[in-house]
Amino acid sequence: MTSNLVQQLGSLSTGEQRLILNNVSWEQYETLRATLDDIPGLRMTYLEGTLEIMSPSPEHEVNKKAIARLIEIYALEKDIDLTGYGSTTFRKQAKARGLEPDECYCFGELKEVPDIAIEVVLSSGGIHKLSVYQGLEVPEVWFWQNHQFSVYRLRQEGYELIPRSEFLPELDLSILAKYVKFPSQTQAVKAYRDTFRQS
């Protein structure tokens, strides 16, 4: 299975593309995750036997990095103790779930799962990420899609769409969104930082 899969992954090298595999056991998922760790940027999402392997596009990676830099300058300017996990793999065998967020953060010390996970969505299809995050018990998930943020908070009955982050209630996501698509990330960070210093 692994050698055939590596051949198929050759077609995922350009642009954002997905490969969906069904009836994948947890052991096969873990083997593939370990085997394919050397392929830069490759994302795997596992949900109850379905495995999605995604090769992110340059646009996807630029967006995720811009968002990370903006959130980090916000935390720095507001003196918030924020710790980044990046695209760490999170897995829970008992729930048959695993994935790598595009970016994720903890407040204070690192925890077993991040407080906030961020997903950049440029194309439709694939595994429903909130189902995976719910099994991993990630408290808050942000989606960047169509040039805006959507924030979901985990409640007892599942995720609820909320107007702003409960971890960062003073963060205005509509303002943050304006800086994500700046041609220069450095200029975006400087301009966004200036909005705090002028207020």
pLDDT in tens, the chain (199 residues): 555 555 555 444 456 788 999 999 999 999 999 988 878 778 999 999 999 999 899 999 999 999 999 999 999 999 999 999 888 899 999 999 999 999 999 999 889 999 999 999 988 778 999 999 999 999 999 999 999 999 999 999 999 999 999 999 999 999 999 999 999 999 999 999 999 888 6
| pLDDT reported for residue 2 | 52
| pLDDT reported for residue 4 | 57
- pLDDT 10s digits, 143-161: 999 999 999 999 999 999 9
| pLDDT reported for residue 39 | 80
The answer to whether 159 and 153 are in contact (CB under 8 A) is yes
Sort 91 into a burial class: Cβ within 10 Å, 0-12 / 13-18 / 19+: middle
How far apart are alpha carbons 116 and 182 in whole angstroms? 24
Kindly report the pTM of this predicted structure.
0.89
DSSP E strands in the chain: the ranges are 17-21, 43-47, 50-55, 82-84, 90-92, 97-99, 103-107, 116-120, 140-145, 148-155, 158-162
| pLDDT reported for residue 14 | 53
Does domain 58-198 correspond to CATH entry 2.60.120?
no
How far apart are alpha carbons 46 and 30 in whole angstroms? 10
Q: Tokens for 146, please give them.
A: 């169509």
**What are the start and end residues of each CATH 3.90.1570 domain in the chain?**
58-198
The answer to whether 81 and 104 are in contact (CB under 8 A) is no
